[in-house]
Amino acid sequence: MRSIRLKKQVNRAFPNDDYKIVNNTVMKTNKRSILPLAALMLLLLACGGQKKEAAKEEPGISDTTSQAVITPAEREKQALLYHETLMEHFGADWMERESDPALYPDYYGGSFIDNSGTFVVAVTGDPESNRQRLTAILGGDDFKVERVTYSYRQMMQVMDRIDAFLVDNRVADDHPVMAHFAGAYPDVMENRVKVILTEVSSEITNSFKKDISGSPMILFEKGEIPQLY
């Protein structure tokens, strides 16, 4: 049976695309991804949050006065609001079009929440000019930007090419890629499209590059076909 896009339920990054599912972790050690759909957002709250010490009182200030401490959970709540605002700016129908490459502008490389609960937006091009643009869109500046090579639109275009190959009835079931394909997804934090194969060899990867895409943003990893329940 041919694999098509499946929902990845954990360890995922903004936005809520139809990822192909894999059995490996897509997080960096100091970052974590989140579920952007409202029904799934709460699954990752308080996961990986860093402890915060109470702010020390400044000299000359009354003993009863102290600086307010924003918790990771509070930052996460703001980050989720930022994400929804950003997606609605891209398109009012973004939830229906989340897998459409045309939804995303060229400067946007994806977004996620780091361990402190801070909203992080990956951008192509100049980080400062993109930060000014995002501040105007989000109505706030308590977020981070990270410069990346590939836009989210480019990653989703590669995903579309993979999908087109998988549903093409002219492709034989014993094609090297078809016989070993386990999944694929755009990894926002790595800024690459991960392709999971049950076996990684030059024959299989060369067939993939020849018949699907030879884009340098693609990374091949070994993994297993997920069990569907």
What does pLDDT average to over the chain? 77
The pLDDT of residue 83? 97
Q: pLDDT tens-digit profile of 130-157? A: 999 999 999 999 999 999 999 999 999 9
Contacts of 32 (CB under 8 A, 6+ apart): 11, 44, 47, 48, 112, 113, 114, 115
* pLDDT surpasses 80 at 54: no
Looking at residues 49-70, what average pLDDT do you find? Answer: 43
* pLDDT surpasses 50 at 129: yes
Q: pLDDT tens-digit profile of 149-178? A: 999 999 999 999 999 999 999 999 999 999
> Look-up: residue for tokens 């990684």?
200
> Look-up: residue for tokens 């989703």?
156
Q: What is the CA radius of gyration of the chain?
A: 20
Q: pLDDT tens-digit profile of 100-125? A: 999 999 999 999 999 889 999 999 99
The pLDDT of residue 229? 61
Phi, psi of 145 (to 5 degrees): -125, 145
> Which range is least confidently modeled, 21-25, 175-179, 214-218?
21-25
Looking at residues 186-200, what average pLDDT do you find? Answer: 96
Coil, helix or strand for 214? coil
